[in-house]
Structure 1
Amino acid sequence: MTGMLRGFGMLWFGQTISFVGSALTGFVLGVWVYQSTGSATQFAIISLAAVLPGIVFAPFAGVLADRRDRRTTMLVADLAAGLVTAGVATLLWTDHLTVWHIYLATALTAVFNTAHITAFYAMMPLLVPREGLGRANGLMQMTQAGQIAAPLLAGALVGTIGLRGVILIDLCTMAVGVALLIAARLDRAATAAPAAGKQITLRQDLGYGWQLLRGKPGLFQLAVLFGGFNFLFALAGVLVQPLILSFGSAATLGVLMFAGGAGLFVGSLVMSAWGGPKRRVRGIIGFLAWGAVALFLHGMYPSAWLIAVVAPLFLFTLPILNGSVMTVIQTKVPTESLGRVVATTRMIGQSATPVAYLVAGPLADRIAEPALAPGGALAGSVGTVIGTGPGRGIAALFWLIGAAMLLVAAVAAARPRLRRLEVELADADAAADADADSEPAGGGVEEDLPEKDLPEKDLPEKGSSHHATQPA
């Protein structure tokens, strides 16, 4: 067991180093696009290219994670991402780099990263004891915190070693990640494709994670809750910078973004040391309410000191929420189905992000800001509390986002299947399920049926409060 934990540690460290290097390159390439074009729209397309391809590819990543050796999947994804970065470096060195190259490279990297992270999450229950999954997921969230901090480092590096130097650092960090992935001593059973050889069509395979979640109402509601939270989080993430700039300078923005990142990092440390709440679903709902209050407070007053307190308080909750959701999924889903379910859950969660990106700007510019301008429609009501003028419409949106998140938490608390998920749905035994046949007889997957029409093995037995753990 110690060897397996050491193997997880090597994989996690290599992934973290590599992902931070990729974040450095992503940041400086975005700056390059903006400086080359002067277009905020073309700059924004990079964010879309970094999200959408991963969402579209997620079902395929889930199939790969369950049907192919997981270490091999991660290795191929890392090498492919390295080739993309090397291609960008070559174009840059030969003065042939253009904006569309950046879009393509960003999209391809998003696809390869999705394949890597899905396989890693699916392999974790076989590398880490079940009681340690919460702490392991805390470490995974620390990787995300490192990526958010990368722009600070990238800004300093660009001024000293330039864009070419940053890309070279990225290539070096990728090499470290690949080397550690190859060197890690992992049991063959932990990396082997658990669902290889199952007779099932590609179409059924791609929809398998969705069908399994639909057959387990508590898990499906958890995935939808995850998606709702991500939508509100993305809205706040888009709007917080213009909110700060409405009353502060660019230097103030940098300091406050660093403070928020510190909250995220501390939350990751706490999650990795604590492992999350014992009753995870209740903890998720509680931290949602905490985050809602913190978001609401963003709009109270145009003060850098206020944001310096409430932004870290909000971002502190993020690693605990994300880590707890992933731990529940890993605990309740058999390992041979885990890649597809993880991919589907992440797809549901991330699909809300592009929508938030698209609606946040028009909502602020065309509705909220005019309404809270002096003499605006809400100047005599809401404006008497939070003030009027630039940024006050965005502040009002933070009130609405906070209230919506609190409503999401309340609705989640009122859903008995979600609230009792950890009691009603028994834990999946990773070791046993690796050898179990979770596919239906004949190799198919049931169509999208309501729970009452699912096979008897997926319904609770009479007199029992537990569901069977085999997938629908």
Structure 2
Amino acid sequence: MVLITEEEDHSSIKNDSLIKKEKPSIKNILKNKSYILLFGGQISNMIAAMLGGMTFSYLIYATTGNAALMALMGILGSLPTIIVITFAGIIVDRIDQRKLIFITIVLRAVLFIGILIVFLFMDRLIQSYVIYEPFKNGIIFRITVVKYVHFIWPMYTLLFINNAVFSFYNLTVSTYSKYIVEKKDLLVANSFNSTITQIASVIGPILAGMIITVSYLYSFMASVFIMGIASLICLLLMKRGKAPPKRKMVERLSAKKEISRIYNDMKVGFNVIRSEPKIMYVLIVYMGFNFVTASVNGTFSVVLQGEMTMNATWYGAVIAVMSGFGIITSLVIMKLGKINRKLILVNLVIFLEVIGLFLFTFIRNPWIMLFIITVPFGIVNGGANIPSFTLRQEKIPHEKLGRATSFVFLFTSLMNLLGMIIVTSVANSVNPMYILLVGSCLCLLLSVTSFIIFMRRSDLRSTDYPEEKVETKQIEPIEELKAIIDQDLSDDLEITLTTKALASSVE
């Protein structure tokens, strides 16, 4: 009986090991109804965001020609994240994420409508008047003064709120996708998400480039319409998507105790990240990365529209080609299905950003910009977030993931904000080439430093799946035990046969 039980246990362990070693597959993702609904809402949302975002930035620079205002857009992309994300992780971990996704998408649709309304009243909001200045010899100069303040502040206020809601949306999607996707398929799912983002980055700018040449109004209207489609898809997700685990309702406390509880929740997020060396390493590296890339984020539109005088079609083509390389990168990672050492990809991303920054600093040829400089930037856009997102989802429990991710978003956004503030303060007085050169050198320093730390730390170089080695080591003794038992049985059988032969010869 004992021998039979051991053989049965051995086979079950062997089967379990085969199940755990089942390869990740995109088919598993495409069969997931909840994920498909999430994907549909996400790609619609991203196309609308890219279309509206490019129209917004192109309109502001074409209207004002002010480089500082373009850099200010980058600040308004990071500042809301810092303000909102502190509390967002706590809310995401407590409330049904499907409802939060739907609410944030609807709010974004409303804000897009607000931007459209402000644009319709642009001519009335922009004030202009003429000043005549008399000079010597009877010459009178006619000076036209234009004030954009009444047009800029409502547009930037809506942009600020929209970015805050978008930060909330991204955090919720990241947390919810961890629950509806199996662990073995997380890298494939994140690669698929990156592909979605890059596809939206192709479609959005191409649409914007074609529509802006006709009318800014049509471009804003198209973004509102697509955001409405995203809202309907997210409504279906809320009704039919897989419900996350129900959380225990937290009783209402006094304001002082509530603040204390929020502080404790933030500590939970920090402690979870600190307990995982690889996640902590990525956080520190990406903080530096977001700081140095502020140089290109703040000067990209200025270089393309100002120095290179690219029209909307050329501008859209550059963004589209860049996103095309990002799509290829995401698909390659998706095809791999599993990366045992994701920090190698993190270091590769930073090195490619160094190459892209140096090329972007000195080259102003539009064709080289279109087909050469877009390669490293596109690969970075396609592969930067996949390893970091996947590591967090694999290592952190679902009930703590929102708080941990909000902590990551908070500090990376702080560094990006600091970089954008510096770029904004010097944008109108310093040549963009010098800003990019400083950013390139800092990025090179970051790349060398992060690689040295990676090579010196064995816990960073180790595999991301140590449990698989443990399972293999556990199975090997069972194989040896089975071989010993089989050998003993065969020996016993030989002894029995020999004894019977001797007995018969004695008779």
Note whether the superposition's TM-score is higher than 0.5: yes
Larger relative contact order (CA 8 Å, sep ≥ 6):
2
Return the alpha-carbon distance in structure 2 between the equivalents of residues 243 and 403 of structure 1: 24
Return the alpha-carbon distance in structure 1 between the equivalents of residues 64 and 309 of structure 2: 24
What SS does the aligned partner of 2:71 have? helix
Return the alpha-carbon distance in structure 1 between the equivalents of residues 117 and 355 of structure 2: 48
Residue 111 (structure 1) aligns with: 164
Residue 290 (structure 2) aligns with: 230
Determine which of 201, 211, 221 is the counterpart of 2:271: 211
Change (3 A) 1:143 1:349: farther
Describe the superposition over 1:130-178 as per-residue Cα deviations: whole angstroms up to 9, x where unpaired. Answer: 1211121112223432454423421321233x33322322222222112
Change (3 A) 1:426 1:215: farther
Change (3 A) 1:4 1:51: farther
Describe the superposition over 1:30-72 as per-residue Cα deviations: whole angstroms up to 9, x where unpaired. Answer: 3333444443323432332122102221121111110111001
What SS does the aligned partner of 1:113 have? helix
Return the alpha-carbon distance in structure 1 between the equivalents of residues 241 and 31 of structure 2: 6
Contact 1:238 1:360 in 2 (8 A): yes
Q: 2:93 matched to 1:40?
A: no
Describe the superposition over 1:266-320 as per-residue Cα deviations: whole angstroms up to 9, x where unpaired. Answer: 2233334434633222332344344445545556776666553243134313322
Determine which of 130, 151, 157 is the counterpart of 2:211: 157
Return the alpha-carbon distance in structure 2 between the equivalents of residues 243 and 46 of structure 1: 15
Residue 16 (structure 2) aligns with: none
1:422, distance to aligned residue in structure 2 (A): 2.5
Describe the superposition over 1:254-275 as per-residue Cα deviations: whole angstroms up to 9, x where unpaired. Answer: 6544433332232233334434
Return the alpha-carbon distance in structure 1 between the equivalents of residues 78 and 36 of structure 2: 27
What SS does the aligned partner of 2:207 have? helix
How many pairs does the alignment contain?
403
Corresponding letter in the other structure for 1:216? E
Q: 2:327 matched to 1:270?
A: no
Residue 402 (structure 1) aligns with: 444
Q: 2:241 matched to 1:186?
A: yes
* Deviates further, 410-419 or 90-99: 90-99
What SS does the aligned partner of 2:291 have? helix
Corresponding letter in the other structure for 1:126? Y
Corresponding letter in the other structure for 1:323? I
Contact 1:299 1:396 in 2 (8 A): no
Corresponding letter in the other structure for 2:448? L
Tell me, which stretches of 5 or more residues in structure 1 are unaligned? Answer: 370-389, 428-472
What SS does the aligned partner of 2:414 have? helix
Residue 383 (structure 1) aligns with: none
Determine which of 130, 135, 139 is the counterpart of 2:192: 139
Contact 2:326 2:378 in 1 (8 A): yes
Contact 1:247 1:303 in 2 (8 A): no
Q: 2:372 matched to 1:309?
A: yes
1:75, distance to aligned residue in structure 2 (A): 1.1
What SS does the aligned partner of 1:277 have? coil
Change (3 A) 1:311 1:238: farther
Residue 223 (structure 2) aligns with: 170
Q: 2:398 matched to 1:335?
A: yes
Residue 454 (structure 2) aligns with: 412
Return the alpha-carbon distance in structure 1 between the equivalents of residues 248 and 372 of structure 2: 47
Corresponding letter in the other structure for 1:13? G
1:118, distance to aligned residue in structure 2 (A): 0.8
Change (3 A) 1:33 1:286: closer
Describe the superposition over 1:225-261 as per-residue Cα deviations: whole angstroms up to 9, x where unpaired. Answer: 2222233333344456667789855367765444333
Contact 2:353 2:443 in 1 (8 A): no
What SS does the aligned partner of 1:340 have? helix
Determine which of 86, 96, 102 is the counterpart of 1:59: 86
Corresponding letter in the other structure for 2:392? I
> Normalized per residue, which structure has more helix?
2
1:124, distance to aligned residue in structure 2 (A): 1.0
Residue 284 (structure 1) aligns with: 346
Contact 1:138 1:272 in 2 (8 A): yes
Residue 356 (structure 1) aligns with: 419
Corresponding letter in the other structure for 1:226? Y
Change (3 A) 1:182 1:405: same
Q: 2:35 matched to 1:8?
A: yes
What SS does the aligned partner of 2:171 have? helix
Contact 1:223 1:349 in 2 (8 A): yes
What SS does the aligned partner of 2:339 have? coil
* Deviates further, 283-292 or 261-270: 283-292
Contact 2:340 2:463 in 1 (8 A): no
Corresponding letter in the other structure for 1:154? A
Change (3 A) 1:63 1:35: same
Residue 97 (structure 2) aligns with: 70
CA RMSD of aligned residues (A): 3.6
What SS does the aligned partner of 2:464 have? helix
Contact 2:292 2:442 in 1 (8 A): no
Return the alpha-carbon distance in structure 2 between the equivalents of residues 90 and 300 of structure 1: 40
Contact 2:75 2:417 in 1 (8 A): yes
Contact 1:139 1:272 in 2 (8 A): yes
Residue 101 (structure 1) aligns with: 154
Return the alpha-carbon distance in structure 1 between the equivalents of residues 438 and 415 of structure 2: 21
Corresponding letter in the other structure for 2:292? L
Corresponding letter in the other structure for 1:168? M
TM-score normalized with structure 2 length: 0.69
Contact 1:298 1:395 in 2 (8 A): no
Matches within 5 A, 1:221-260: 221-239=281-299, 250=310, 256-260=318-322
TM-score normalized with structure 1 length: 0.73
Contact 2:68 2:424 in 1 (8 A): no
Describe the superposition over 1:105-144 as per-residue Cα deviations: whole angstroms up to 9, x where unpaired. Answer: 1111111111111111101122112121112111222343
Contact 1:234 1:357 in 2 (8 A): yes
Return the alpha-carbon distance in structure 2 between the equivalents of residues 203 and 365 of structure 1: 40
Residue 474 (structure 2) aligns with: none
Return the alpha-carbon distance in structure 1 between the equivalents of residues 48 and 455 of structure 2: 40
Change (3 A) 1:81 1:239: closer
Change (3 A) 1:297 1:40: closer
Which of the two has higher C-alpha Rg? 2
Q: Quote the sequence identity (%).
A: 17
Return the alpha-carbon distance in structure 2 between the equivalents of residues 3 and 197 of structure 1: 36
Return the alpha-carbon distance in structure 2 between the equivalents of residues 119 and 202 of structure 1: 18
Contact 1:7 1:186 in 2 (8 A): yes
Contact 1:4 1:128 in 2 (8 A): no
Residue 377 (structure 1) aligns with: none
Contact 2:183 2:394 in 1 (8 A): yes
Change (3 A) 1:362 1:166: closer
Determine which of 308, 313, 323 is the counterpart of 1:261: 323
Change (3 A) 1:306 1:38: closer
Contact 1:68 1:192 in 2 (8 A): no
